[in-house]
Amino acid sequence: MKHLQLPLSKEDIKRLHAGDAVMLSGTIYTARDCAHKRLFSLLDAGMPLPFELKGAIIYYAGPCPAKPGRASGSCGPTTSARMDSFAPRLFDLGLGAAVGKGEMCEEVRQALQRNAACYFAAVGGAGAVYGNAIKKSECVAFEDLLSEAVYRLEVENFPAVVAMDCYGESVYQK
Amino acid sequence: MRIVHTKKIENCVYRLARKAGTALTPACRAAMQSAAARESSPACKFALDTLLDNARLAAEEELPVCQDTGMACVLIRLGQQVALTGALLSDAVDSGVRRAYADGYFRKSICDPLTRVNTGDNTPAALHVEIVAGDKIEITFLPKGFGSENMSRLYMLTPAKGTEGVIDCIVQTVKEAGSRPCPPVCVGVGLGGNFDGCAFLAKKALTREIGTHHPRADVRAIEEEALRRINDLGIGCQGFGGDTTALGVACEIAPTHIAGLPVAVNVQCHCVRCEKEVL
């Protein structure tokens, strides 16, 4: 099990290989379907994004509301394939890594290779475990989208597997 | 005639929703435990163990098992000897859902299909009412996540395709879904009926306890053969590769038209949350 402190440098990413089990600690940003559409509208309009994309890590997730006394509600990954059409452009603009569940498409695989980036799979359905790994959560954009808004999360020991690495290798069968 | 106030139904939906959102069914937990015990792939076993830890944590701390607390599927079998008073039945069900999702700190996941504006309270529920004999009300609550719902399919086969065609549809659906629906999956299959009725049979099949079989021998044979072939696919937990791709296949059957053989395949992730109560 590798413990990784976020953000990841290109050297960190080059040391990761598909199938490696990792624990992530540091800052990640949630964004799923609707938030990606809004991020793209901002990019198309030449406007700044609500967070610095270079080196950032996007988590495809939409949390439950937090119970009193907790930083976050349950917050496991959503199906990454729905973000297939968005991810390559974001990697080309500097996105460091994505976290979600399930396979992503060929264009994403190429974008990861082109940009020395990687894709982590969290365990889908383990919402309570991931909610517990979140120590701080703050909405940074699109609050009207409720659970689909962009949240900045501080995570500790967030379990994941390197699903697609920067060498074009994937943990999923062909 | 038995008179029942809809407040009783609202409160029952509330109880079932609160329980369902935070607990796997005992049969689901048992199926995951036995799958983890015999799994030969380390990555698949790691994922299964994480999910079992997650289920334990969720139950202990009353947290949602999965953040996708789902669309609220409510199946009511209403005895014909019951007379309802109070609110409209669908309003009572929605009130129970609204209160449960607020008090349980569950995610509100229901939105307009085009504008994508969230309704804010997880209503409306997907409510099905069947009128049955007697004076009881059986309420089943199945919160259905959409990672798996999205991978569901309806096939209108020709009668010539027969049993083999049915099994091929079931296996093909799970194969195409791959890692996306959070395998190991449970598969609900509808056989027969018409276009809409077949899909409902598949949903009803998901409310059956995992590991139980249809009483008809030929239907049971389809359940067993489909499960065997799905697990031979090797997709594994989370798509990491392994022996455990499905925990169960359940089929429900109804008469159909002489020209058709509808097959609906409703995919459910490993996170089976289903609660039932009889009033």
User: What CATH number is given to the structural domain containing A123?
Assistant: 3.20.130.10
The mean pLDDT value of chain A amounts to: 96
- Whether A1 shows a pLDDT value over 90: the answer reads no
- Cross-chain residue pair B107–A131, CB shorter than 8 Å: no
Tokens of B242: 């392994």
Range(s) of the domain holding residue A70: 2-7+19-164
- Whether A131 and chain B come into contact, CB under 8 Å, resolves to yes
- Cross-chain residue pair A73–B180, CB shorter than 8 Å: no
**pLDDT for the residue numbered A17:** 96
Q: Give domain status of residue A173, yes or no.
A: no
**pLDDT for the residue numbered B271:** 87
Nearest C-alpha of chain B: how many angstroms from A61? Answer: 9
Question: Could you state, in order of their start, the residue ranges of all structural domains in chain B?
Answer: 2-21+65-144, 147-277
Nearest C-alpha of chain B: how many angstroms from A46? Answer: 24
- Whether B4 shows a pLDDT value over 90: the answer reads yes
- Whether B273 shows a pLDDT value over 70: the answer reads yes
Over the stretch B160-203, which tens digit does the pLDDT of each residue have?
Answer: 999 999 999 999 999 999 999 999 999 999 999 999 999 999 99
| Alpha carbon distance A97, A165 (integer Å) | 10
Angle at alpha carbon of residue B216, lines to B212 and B217, rounded to 5°:
90
**pLDDT for the residue numbered B44:** 86
Nearest CB to A64 within list B54, B105, B270: B105
- Tell me the helices (H) and strands (E) count for chain A, helix number first: 5, 7
The mean pLDDT value of chain B amounts to: 96
Nearest CB to A173 within list B50, B182, B234: B234
- Cross-chain residue pair B105–A66, CB shorter than 8 Å: yes
Q: What percent of chain B is modeled with pLDDT above 70?
A: 100
What is the residue type of B169? C
- Whether B73 shows a pLDDT value over 80: the answer reads yes
- Cross-chain residue pair B50–A101, CB shorter than 8 Å: no
Instruction: Write phi, then psi, for B129 (nearest 5 degrees).
Output: -120, 130
**What does the pLDDT average to over A77-95?**
97
Q: Give domain status of residue A42, yes or no.
A: yes
Over the stretch A126-172, which tens digit does the pLDDT of each residue have?
Answer: 999 999 999 999 999 999 999 999 999 999 999 999 999 999 999 99
**pLDDT for the residue numbered B45:** 87
The answer to whether the beta carbons of residues B73 and B207 sit under 8 Å apart is no
- Whether A174 shows a pLDDT value over 80: the answer reads no
**pLDDT for the residue numbered B146:** 95
Q: Give domain status of residue A13, yes or no.
A: no
Total domains, chain A? 1
**pLDDT for the residue numbered A82:** 96
- The crossing angle, in degrees rounded to 10, of helices B217-231 and B162-177 is 40
- The crossing angle, in degrees rounded to 10, of helices B42-61 and B26-38 is 150
- Cross-chain residue pair A147–B182, CB shorter than 8 Å: no
User: Which of A36, A64, A174 to mutate: most B Cβ within 10 Å?
Assistant: A64
**pLDDT for the residue numbered B46:** 86
Over the stretch A11-32, which tens digit does the pLDDT of each residue have?
Answer: 999 999 999 999 999 999 999 9
Instruction: Write phi, then psi, for B68 (nearest 5 degrees).
Output: -85, 90
Over the stretch B126-169, which tens digit does the pLDDT of each residue have?
Answer: 999 999 999 999 999 999 999 999 999 999 999 999 999 999 99
pLDDT band of residue B68 (cuts 50, 70, 90) is: very high
The DSSP line for chain B is: -EEEEHHHHHHHHHHHHHHHHH---HHHHHHHHHHHHH---HHHHHHHHHHHHHHHHHHHHT--SSS---EEEEEEEEETTEEEESS-HHHHHHHHHHHHHHHTT-----B-TTT--B-SS-PSPEEEEEEESSS-EEEEEEEE-HHHHTT-EEEEE-GGGHHHHHHHHHHHHHHHHTTTT-SSEEEEEEEEE-HHHHHHHHHHHTTSPTT---SSHHHHHHHHHHHHHHHTT---GGGS-SS-SEEEEEEEEEEE-TT-EEEEEEEE-S----EEEE-
